[in-house]
Structures are given as C-alpha cells and as structure tokens.
C-alpha cells in the first residue's frame, strides 16, 4: 500500500473537443468542416458514423457543466469549432457561433471551472480545404484572423489558450497515413502541413503578445514513448527516429528555432523538400507560457530494414492493451516527461490529454470500468514520479469527460469517464468517474 500525494496547487480537469461532442452541425449558421466531408465519405469512418448528433453537447452543455461540477474539477478543456465562428473560414463572423461559446464559458465560470480553450482541434472549415487547406499559406493568415477575434471576444473570460491540438495527427496522420481528414497519402504534403501549422502557431503567439491578452498560451502536441527492444545501436536509432517524429519534429522548432537535422536528412532521403520561407523559423521560435502534453501509449520497437518510414517495427512485448488496441505503457509517460524536461527545460506542463478506451456498458445503471481506473492510477503514479524528478507539472486533464465521436473509429471506441447512450443521449457516470472525483477532492489516492 502506498499513498500518492499531489501538490495542492495542481489543477485537475477533463477534456473534450467540438466535433466529437457538440453535434448540431447544421444549427445556427455553422459552416462545414473537413470532418463533415470526411465522415460522410464511404469507408472513412467505422459504421459510417459522423458528428451530426454526437453527444448533443451543443444543446446539453448545462447538463455537462453540472457533471463537471459534481466531478469537482477546476479546469475544463474544450475546443472551438472554427466553422461555427467563420462559416466560410474567413471574412464574415457568425454571431450565433460566438454566442454558444459565451454561454458555455459563462456557465463554466459561474460554476468555478477555469476554461482552457483549444482553437484548433481538427475541424478546419471545408471552405479553406477547398483552397488547399493547410498546404496553402493563406490558411495561416485565416487562422490568425480567427484566433485574434477569439482573443478579443473572450478577453477576461478565457485565460488559457491552446493553438493546435496534436499537430502530428493534423499533418502526418491526416495527410501521409491518410487515416484522418482530409485523408491524403502524400509525405511532401504532410511535411508542408506540419510546417504551416508551426508557422500559424508562432504567428498566433506573436499576435497574442501584441494584443496584450491577459492569460497564457501554449500548444498541445501528442507524444508516444518508443523503447528500443535491445541496446543494439540500430534498434536505438530506429526508436529515436520513430520518437522524434512526434517529439523533436514538433518541439525543436518551437523551443530551438530549428528542425532536428538527423530527421531532416532522413526525410530528404525519402524525397521530401523542406519548404521553409525566410523568417519562418524565427516566427515559430516564440516563447510559450505552457506546454500541453497528450500521452496515451508507448511501444517497444526495433530496426527493420525498409519497414515503414523509419526502418522501425513495433514488437509485441506482451503489454496489456486497451480496447482500441493501444499498449498500456505507463512507464513511457514518466520517460517521455523526463526526456522532454531534460531536452527543453522545466517548461510548465499541463497534461492536456491522458486516458483510455474501454467499452464497458451500463449494467443496472453501473458502469464497472475497472480497466480505466487501473489505467488512470498507473499513469498518475508515473506523473507523480515525474514531478518528483523535476518535471514542472501544473495540471492534469483526463480524456475524456464523455464518451464521444472517436474520429475514424466513430462511436465504437469509448474514452469517457461518463458513458453516453448514443440513442437516448443519456449520461451515466462510470466507476472511473467516482474514482477520479475522489482523487480530485483529496489531491491524493491510495494504491491498492
Ligand atoms: C494514431 C492509426 C496506421 C484523440 C492513429 C490513429 C492508423 C499506421 C485520440 N486525441 O480523441 C493516433 N487520439 O481528439 C485527440 N490520439 O493511427 C482527441 N491519437 O495508423 C482524442 C489515431 C491516433 C490518435 C487518436
């Protein structure tokens, strides 16, 4: 038995994203996003699911805030649907869209919950995709226009801002692997997109400073831990490349103002030409107030000639898997956080996502998701170890408050601590909700 104790100042929260929970896709003047298009393209999403209704949080946000209040969290991370604000991506502003987020934010503040707002959680206006999306540098300016409007509109109400959620997913998963919208398979395109996201991030941080917004701004890359199968140099190097695709590729430009040279050389061997314009790297290299980290999983891997992009292959090392098939790899959470701190310094970190997929259903009103409780406990122990090793953790937000639209997996994969019945839209608090509630209230838990 052990007691795992967290500092009193630690913020506890939960996270969601617009397209995954809101529904109401044709309400109040919302424009289309690339996820409307993608989810309605046959074969892209399991069961042909889409976000038309999702959790209907657009209409049920008061009920959802009441759930958060009961949970006792001090912070809620949500994202804004860009096409609700700019139905055409740029130009005319849709007042009704702003009104929805004012209502949500006011409800949060009235309940003592700090809003943490993500500006881009994947729902790019389709109107901008029609002009090339993130491959087109005009999208950078459209994003800054949208961000500036949001900063001014919510000044004094929203104090924590995130530019981009999971830039690796937005670029490589969506434009090289092709699993997410817009679904292309082109490494040059994906590399351009990754760069343009970083430039848009930097320009937005600059605008935030120039406007003198009261608050803090950061971004939220997703990271995985890649553990070498052996201490052979070729295994170590393969895992270093696989890991750097998430970490160094997206961190070095922001924290050091350059791309990792060994990765650039590897990409150039694959035929990629870096398209960097004068001033881009200085723009990206802006001090940020905090780093958001999304961590779910890690894996053991080894060198395998001509395997994938990096001559790297995962090895099934017998770890338990969540229902989506991802390894439960809590030591990777500790390792990645200490790695980032050693490399980039003691930057303030919010864990903006961490959670697991277990598809337990209610039984007489009870959802016994013991797998999720175990996952949470193991990852919070790793987090606590990292904090005791000098990692500057300010807060922890679990993914997700609610079961929701899990992108290409549709509604088949549940990450919530609250169950959602997608037929009736009824919410049922899972056992993990009660475990987390107690942990949040105490600031500690007992390992059993
Ligand atoms: C990789 C699948 C083929 C979300 C991936 C699929 C295809 C080689 C969860 N984070 O819903 C990563 N999530 O919206 C943000 N994070 O490859 C929030 N990453 O591989 C959550 C999916 C993901 C992924 C999913």
pLDDT in tens, 189-242: 999 999 999 999 999 999 999 999 999 999 999 999 999 999 999 999 999 999
Looking at residue 346, its pLDDT comes to: 98
353 has catalytic annotation: yes
What is the reported pLDDT for 271?
Answer: 98
Q: Quick check: 424 pLDDT over 90?
A: yes
Nearest to 309 by CA among 142, 411, 139, 177: 177
In the predicted structure, residue 1 carries a pLDDT above the cut 90: no
CA of 198 to the centre of ligand 1 (A): 20
Average pLDDT on 329-333 reads 98
Q: What is the CATH number of the domain that holds 322?
A: 3.20.20.80
- The model's pLDDT over 70-99, given as tens digits with 9 standing for 90+, comes to 999 999 999 999 999 999 999 999 999 999
Q: Residue 145's pLDDT is what?
A: 98
Q: Considering 22, 166, 224, 248, which one is annotated as catalytic?
A: 166
Q: In Å, what is the CA distance from 294 to each residue of 94, 107, 167, 396?
A: 31, 26, 11, 10
Closest C-alpha residue for ligand 1 atom 21 = 406
**Residue range 372-385: mean pLDDT, rounded:** 98
pLDDT tens column, 140-176: 999 999 999 999 999 999 999 999 999 999 999 999 9
Quick: pLDDT tens for 228-239. Answer: 999 999 999 999
Q: Binning pLDDT at 50, 70 and 90, where does residue 363 land?
A: very high
The CA 286 to ligand 1 mean position distance, Å, reads 27
Per-residue pLDDT band for 62 (boundaries 50, 70, 90) equals very high
Give the residue among 120, 134, 127 at the shortest CA–CA distance from 80: 120
For residues 278-289, give the mean pLDDT: 98
| pLDDT on residue 7 | 98
Residue 324 has pLDDT above 90, yes or no: yes
For residue 195, the enclosing domain spans 2-447
Indicate which atom in ligand 1 lies nearest the CA of residue 415. Answer: 11
With bands split at pLDDT 50, 70 and 90, how would you rate the model's confidence at 432?
very high
Q: d(Cα 59, Cα 349) in Å, to the nearest integer? A: 32
The reported pLDDT for the residue numbered 232 is 98
Per the structure, the count of domains in the chain is 1
Of the residues 299, 407, 412, 415, which should be mutated to test ligand 1's pocket, given the most ligand atoms within 8 Å of the CB? 407
Query: Would you say 380 and 5 are in contact if contact means Cβ atoms under 8 Å apart?
Result: no
Q: What are phi and psi of 442, to 5 degrees?
A: -85, -35
Which residues does ligand 1 sit against, CB inside 6 Å? Answer: 17, 20, 166, 169, 173, 177, 179, 222, 294, 353, 399, 406-407
pLDDT tens digits, 114-125: 999 999 999 999
Amino acid 448: pLDDT: 83
Q: How far is the CA of 169 from the centre of ligand 1 (A)?
A: 7
Active-site residue among 22, 107, 248, 353? Answer: 353
Which among 167, 222, 312 is the best mutation to test ligand 1's pocket, defined by most ligand atoms within 8 Å of the CB?
Answer: 222
Query: Which protein residue has the closest C-alpha to ligand 1 atom 24?
Result: 169
């Amino acid at each position: 038995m052990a007691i795992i104790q967290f500092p009193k100042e630690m913020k506890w929260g939960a996270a969601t994203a617009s397209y995954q929970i809101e529904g109401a896709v044709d309400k109040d003047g919302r424009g289309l996003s690339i996820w409307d298009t993608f989810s309605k393209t046959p074969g892209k999403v399991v069961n042909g699911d889409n976000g038309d209704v999702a959790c209907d949080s657009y209409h049920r946000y008061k009920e959802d805030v009441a759930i958060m209040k009961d949970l006792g969290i001090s912070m809620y991370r949500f994202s804004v649907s860009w096409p609700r604000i700019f139905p055409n991506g740029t130009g005319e502003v849709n007042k009704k869209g702003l009104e929805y987020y004012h209502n949500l934010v006011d409800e949060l503040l009235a309940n003592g919950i700090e809003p943490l707002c993500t500006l881009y959680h994947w729902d790019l206006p389709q109107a901008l995709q029609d002009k090339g999306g993130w491959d087109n540098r005009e999208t950078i300016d459209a994003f800054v226009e949208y961000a500036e409007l949001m900063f001014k509109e919510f000044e004094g109400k929203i104090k924590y801002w995130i530019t981009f959620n999971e830039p690796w997913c937005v670029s490589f998963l969506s434009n090289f692997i092709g699993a997410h919208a817009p679904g292309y398979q082109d490494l040059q395109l994906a590399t351009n997109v990754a760069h343009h996201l970083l430039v848009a991030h930097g320009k937005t941080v600059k605008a935030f400073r120039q406007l003198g917004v009261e608050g803090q701004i950061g971004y939220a890359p997703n990271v995985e831990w890649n553990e070498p199968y052996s201490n052979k140099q070729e295994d170590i190097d393969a895992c270093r490349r696989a890991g750097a695709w998430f970490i160094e590729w997206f961190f070095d430009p922001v924290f050091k103002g350059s791309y990792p040279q060994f990765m650039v050389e590897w990409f150039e061997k694959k035929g990629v030409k870096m398209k960097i314009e004068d001033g881009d790297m200085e723009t990206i290299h802006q001090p940020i107030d905090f780093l958001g980290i999304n961590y779910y999983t890690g894996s053991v891997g080894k060198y395998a000639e001509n395997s994938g992009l990096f001559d790297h292959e995962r090895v099934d090392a017998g770890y338990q898997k969540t229902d989506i098939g991802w390894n439960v790899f809590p030591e990777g959470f500790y390792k990645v956080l200490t790695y980032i701190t050693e490399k980039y310094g003691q930057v303030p970190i919010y864990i903006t996502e961490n959670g697991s997929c277990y598809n337990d259903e209610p039984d007489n009103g009870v959802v016994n998701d013991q797998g999720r409780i175990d996952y949470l406990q193991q990852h919070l122990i790793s987090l606590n170890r990292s904090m005791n090793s000098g990692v500057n953790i300010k807060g922890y937000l679990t993914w997700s408050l609610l079961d929701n639209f899990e992108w290409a997996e549709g509604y088949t994969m549940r990450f919530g601590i609250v169950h959602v019945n997608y037929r009736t839209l009824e919410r049922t608090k899972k056992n993990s909700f009660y475990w987390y509630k107690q942990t949040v209230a105490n600031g500690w838990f007992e390992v059993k």
